[in-house]
């Protein structure tokens, strides 16, 4: 029973996050906080009576580890803060191994969408040239400047990562059903 509640809750968290990301290009902090508290409650409910603290500590450690790993890409404005929080929640709910699978599936979906978008907009070479120039500048100057700037790049260059993570979770669910 727990697996269905956990899976359904994570599906709802990612669906609402994707909706906000597509609509507003941000995921509200209050939504991530509610999802985090719900995850804590589910883990606390499932924990044995004599050791309820340890599962909560491991849940928090998973959240913090994912935030620490992905924070540099947020600082460089390559991904959004809401995307990092959703990835942390995915790993918090599913554990490191299954959570990493969902995130990798989501990044694969995002890469395919980005490639198709660049082909449709006919700016693949321009975006690749910009990316390699950015990486070169980053290594030469060692100055962490933002990759994405809305004033320069516009909203057309953005892929809603939360929607890709939702797709990655769907892909993961299809794999465990088989």
Domain boundaries, the chain: 2-177
- Is there a contact between 84 and 67 (Cβ–Cβ < 8 Å)? yes
**Among 172, 170, 148, which residue's Cα sits nearest to residue 12?**
170
Q: Could you tell me the pLDDT band of residue 160, with boundaries at 50, 70 and 90?
A: very high
CB 178 within 8 A of CB 36: no
User: Which pLDDT does position 158 carry in this prediction?
Assistant: 83
DSSP state of 110: H
Q: Is the pLDDT of residue 1 over 90?
A: no
* Average pLDDT score over the chain: 90
Residue 56, SS3 per DSSP: helix
Burial of 171 (0-12, 13-18, 19+ CB in 10 A): middle
DSSP state of 77: T
Distance between CA atoms of 82 and 89, rounded to whole angstroms?
10
pTM: predicted TM-score of the whole model, two decimal places: 0.88
Give yes or no for residue 123 having a pLDDT over 80.
yes
Structure confidence at residue 147 (pLDDT)? 79
Instruction: Mean pLDDT check: name the lowest of 1-5, 28-32, 38-42, 73-77.
Output: 1-5
Q: Two tokens at 104?
A: 């990798």
* Model pLDDT, residue 4: 65
């Amino acid at each position: 029973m727990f697996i269905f509640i956990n899976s359904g809750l994570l599906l709802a968290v990612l669906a609402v996050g994707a909706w906000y990301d597509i609509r507003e290009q941000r995921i509200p902090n209050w939504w991530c906080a509610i999802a985090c508290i719900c995850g804590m409650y589910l883990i606390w409910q499932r924990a044995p009576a004599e050791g309820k603290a340890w599962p909560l500590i491991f849940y928090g450690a998973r959240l913090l580890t994912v935030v620490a790993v992905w924070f540099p890409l947020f600082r460089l404005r390559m991904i959004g803060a809401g995307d990092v929080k959703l990835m942390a929640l995915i790993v918090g709910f599913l554990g490191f191994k299954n959570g990493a699978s969902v995130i990798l599936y989501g990044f694969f979906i995002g890469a395919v969408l980005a490639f198709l978008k660049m082909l449709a907009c006919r700016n693949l070479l321009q975006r690749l040239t910009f990316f390699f120039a950015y990486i070169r500048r980053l290594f030469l100057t060692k100055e962490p400047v933002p990759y994405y700037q809305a004033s320069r790049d516009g909203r057309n260059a953005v892929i809603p990562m939360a929607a890709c993570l939702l797709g990655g979770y769907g892909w993961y669910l299809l794999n465990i059903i088989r």
